[in-house]
Amino acid sequence: MLPCITKHYLGFDCMGCGLQRSALLLCKGQFMEAFTMYPGIYPLIFLFGFLGISYVFQIRNSSMITSFLAISTALTIIVSYIIKLTTIF
């Protein structure tokens, strides 16, 4: 696993902390543990999956769907990060 530079030098988690471990848990089939480790994993998968599909096929309103998925992914990551920070301190 790659070390988190933010955590190493500044002493607190970044917004991406837990993503690698969550992806590893997902590969092992531990879906609930992956979500608990990093709640943004599933919105990220949906976003990148849709981007890949829309690259291959013409999808009506793909830009609007992509925008919705990107915003919901960002909000999920930000809200879960704030919750993680407030429960630690």
Task: State pLDDT tens for residues 35-76.
Answer: 999 999 999 999 999 999 999 999 999 999 999 999 999 999
> Is the model's pLDDT at 88 over the cut of 70?
no
pLDDT for 89: 58
Q: For residues 9 and 3, is the Cβ–Cβ distance under 8 A?
A: no
* Nearest-angstrom CA–CA distance, 81 and 89: 13
pLDDT confidence band for 29 (50 / 70 / 90)? very high
Mean pLDDT of the chain: 93
The angle subtended at Cα 18 by Cα 51 and Cα 53, nearest 5°, is 10
The predicted model gives 17-40 an average pLDDT of 95
